Amino acid sequence: MANQARSGKSEFLTNRLVIGCGYLGHRVAQAWRAQGYTTLATTRSRFQELRELGLIPIFADVTCRDLVPGLPAASTTLIAVGIDRTTQTSPRDVYLRGLENILSRLPAVGRVIYISSTGVYGPSTSDIDEATPVAPEDETGQAIVEAEQLLLATRPEAIILRFAGIYGPGRLPREKAVLTGQPLPTDPNGWLNLIHVVDGVAAVLAAEQKGCGGAIYNISDGQPVRRGDFYRRLAELLHAPPPTFVTPAAGERGSRRVSNRKMREELQIELLYPSYQQGLAACLY
């Protein structure tokens, strides 16, 4: 019995679980797998793909409690659930009710890292940091704020990572529209806050090792860029015509500058792509 208990504890310590194995999540899963951890990942359909990456797939649809199985205990669980644009599921169903469903099936052991968004902050004329009050401007931001609150009430030692816009190979903001010369519905003078996916993975791994339980960290390269400057540079690199801009819808103006000071000081991350200039070039060449 003692040997079985030690074996179970050893298995728990070497397990990692990714709930939401998308653009960021599957890269974190691969990083954990490369470190020698047994890594499990939830999916609705990509079983063979995850197996080929050396991961153990688990079927789960977080938007339906009946389709979330009992989840395995893991030393660290990453919750990186995002909206599937191909469905009609609401942000509240995905972020808030989805998290409720996850927590109802997740053993109350191990560290939890939750991927949130800097979209929870409202407009600001000064730099935003983790002490800035949340003031979401849309339904998605409100649902994420409520999910954060639920998580910290249920798992007070969880770590919340509020990500700026994630970009990287195969995921560049409005790339298709820039290539085809479509007018961009955004304010060229508004701010865009970004983080390259490689540095995003590094942030998750650093939070696992160095993050404080219950803490919130903004994950950004710390170099906000005017949207016009970003899209003009993207057009240059794509050899596309200079972009044009039209009046954006509500919530598209972007008047936030997000500070990453806490991330740099506490998580001690050395960014591989400290600004969009290096990051875009690496994606396209």
Distances (CA, A) of 108 to 73, 103, 105, 235, 269: 8, 8, 9, 48, 29
Give the pLDDT confidence of 172-223 residue by residue, as tens digits: 999 999 999 999 999 999 999 999 999 999 999 999 999 999 999 999 999 9
Q: Residue 99, SS3?
A: helix
- Model pTM? 0.94
Q: How far is CA 2 from the centre of its chain?
A: 40
Residue 1 has pLDDT above 50, yes or no: no
Average pLDDT for the chain: 92
State the pLDDT at residue 11.
63
Per-residue pLDDT band at 83 (split at 50, 70, 90): confident
Residue 5 has pLDDT above 90, yes or no: no
Domains and CATH numbers, the chain: 2-170+194-223+257-272 (3.40.50.720)
Per-residue pLDDT band at 264 (split at 50, 70, 90): very high
In sequence order, the 6+-apart residues with CB closer than 8 A to the CB of 217 are 130, 159, 160, 161, 162, 203, 207, 211, 262, 263, 266, 267
List the single range of 5-14, 89-98, 191-200 with lowest mean pLDDT: 5-14
Average pLDDT of span 84-94: 86
Give the pLDDT confidence of 35-77 residue by residue, as tens digits: 999 999 999 989 999 999 999 999 999 999 999 999 999 999 9
At residue 46, what is the residue type?
Answer: R
State the pLDDT at residue 185.
94
Residue 2 has pLDDT above 60, yes or no: no
Check residue 103 and give left, alpha or beta (phi > 0: left; psi -120 to 50: alpha).
Answer: alpha
State the pLDDT at residue 6.
46
